[in-house]
Structure 1
C-alpha cells in the first residue's frame, strides 16, 4: 500500500532582548517584566479590537436600518433616525437577552438617542 510522509517544523518568530545590568537578579527581573509586559500589551490590543468591532457592528446596523427605512419611505428626515434607532435597539436587545420588557426599553432608548442625535445634527 502506498504511503506518504510529511515532515516539517512550525515555530513562531523569536525575539530575544538582552539587558545586562551586571546583577543576575535584576537581569532576570527585567527580562520577566519585558516578557509579561509584551503579553499584557498583546492581550489589551486583542480585547480592545474585539470591543471596537462589536460597537462598530451596532453602529453599522443602525446606519443600515436608517438608510433602508429612508429608502422605503422615500424621504430623509428625523423619523428615519427614530425608527432606525428603535429597530436597532430591539434587535441588539433580542440578540443579547430574551426579556420582552428589556427589548421594549432598548427599542425606546435607541429611538430616543437616534432622534436626539438627528435633531442636534440639524441644529449645528
Structure 2
C-alpha cells in the first residue's frame, strides 16, 4: 500500500533581547515585559489594521486611536507578564528549587495583584488568583510535554 510521509522540522524564528540591569530579578521581569508587551502591541495594531482595511476607512483619528490602543495594550500585558516572570523567579529564589510550583505560586500572586489593582471585590481577587495559578501551571506542564 503506498504511503507518503513528511520529514523535516518546522520552527519559528527566535529573537532574544538581553538587557543587563545588574539584578537577575529585574532582568527577568524586564524581559517578560518587553516580549509580551511587544506581542500585545503587535496584536492590537494587526486587529486595528484589519478593521480599517475591512471597513474601508482610514483617517488620522483612526491612526491616533490605534496608536494609543497599541501602547495601552502593550503596557498592560507587558506589565502583567513582567510581574508574573518576576514573581516566578522570586518564588524560585526563595524556595531554592525550580519546578512547576514556582509557576503556580507566581501565577496566583500575579492574578491576585492584578485583580486587586483593578477591583475591590474579594471574591473576584481570589478567583483571579486561582485562575492565574491554574493558567501558569498548565503552561509549564504543557511545555514539559513538548
**TM-score, length-scaled by structure 1:** 0.69
The DSSP-based 3-state class of the residue aligned with 2:59 is helix
User: How many equivalent pairs are there?
Assistant: 90
Matched, 1:42 2:64: yes
Within 5 Å, which residues of 2 pair with 1:75-86?
A: 75-86=97-108
Q: Residue 91 of structure 2 corresponds to which residue in structure 1?
A: 69
The DSSP-based 3-state class of the residue aligned with 1:68 is helix
CA distance in 1: counterparts of 2:116 and 2:64, whole angstroms: 32
How far 1:46 sits from its partner (Å)?
1.6
- Off by >3 Å, runs of 4+ in structure 1: none
Post-superposition Cα deviations, 1:30-83, rounded to whole Å, max 9, x if no partner, equal: xxxx9x712321221121111111111001000000000000001100000000
Q: Residue 59 of structure 1 corresponds to which residue in structure 2?
A: 81
Within 5 Å, which residues of 2 pair with 1:17-28?
A: none
Of structures 1 and 2, the one scoring higher in RCO (CA 8 A, sep 6+) is 2
The DSSP-based 3-state class of the residue aligned with 2:135 is helix
**TM-score, length-scaled by structure 2:** 0.59
Matched, 1:88 2:110: yes
CA distance in 2: counterparts of 1:85 and 1:122, whole angstroms: 17
Q: Which has the larger radius of gyration?
A: 1
Q: Calculate the aligned-residue CA RMSD, in Å.
A: 1.4
